[in-house]
Amino acid sequence: QTISRLDWVCPISQDGVNTLANLYPQLAHRLQLFRLGVEDGQMGSRPSSDHVLRIVSCSTLTPVKRVGLIADALALCDFPVHWTHFGRGEQRTLLERKAAALPAHVQVELKGYVDNPTLLQYYRENPVDLFLNVSSSEGLPVTLMEAASYGIPIAATSVGGVNEIVSPRSGWLLPANPSPQQIVDVLREAAKLSPTQRREMAHAAHQLWQQRVNAAVQYPAFCQFLKTQLSQKLAS
């Protein structure tokens, strides 16, 4: 009923387009993909140099984000890890409890809420080896776009439009419902990357940003689309 009364519906992921087209095939002609975008991080992040795997995650601490699953996985790690999480929410106390029980070679920083400039400054000023997302549901996360623009390899659950910003060349697509051990296996692979492999992943991540979620391309294209549609409507 809603779509039939609109001129266009513009999902931000191909997954969104496909979902709506499958649900309402008679209205598929009103769908047009326009992804969001972020500015160029110019591959401004760097990897660790001390054999500690440095992981960043960024999300609200809510059940759908499953951040506690990261802690469950880290409990199984037998190699040095430093995990930094940005974001706040109702599961903070639960996460603190899990973090306190982790082995000594797993260090955790729960940063809470920070504004976007502070997060991006962190990427520029601190080594980051992997961005990790284990959500049970997503659209096309801006946090993954930002990580890709900074040349950070990504490991994320293959839900929603995540596979539109993560590829096997730029990171790892986890199952939609990964076990802690499956996450650990990916973390171990990330920890074992050679400098050349890490560099290749960084370039592949940045290339995906350039091709699909570059704000300097995405937003002017959407504006031009709206101007064209409005001109045609006024002309008729």
Contact (CB, 8 A) for 149 and 38: yes
Tokens of 233: 């409507």
Contact (CB, 8 A) for 107 and 83: yes
Q: What is the mean pLDDT of each run of 10 residues along the chain (236 residues)?
A: 91 97 95 98 96 98 98 98 98 97 98 97 98 97 98 98 97 98 98 96 98 98 97 92
State the number of CA atoms in the 13 A half-sphere of 53 facing the CB.
24
Pairing of strands 154-157, 130-133: parallel
pLDDT at 155: 98
Single-letter residue type at 97: R
Contacts of 51 (CB under 8 A, 6+ apart): 80
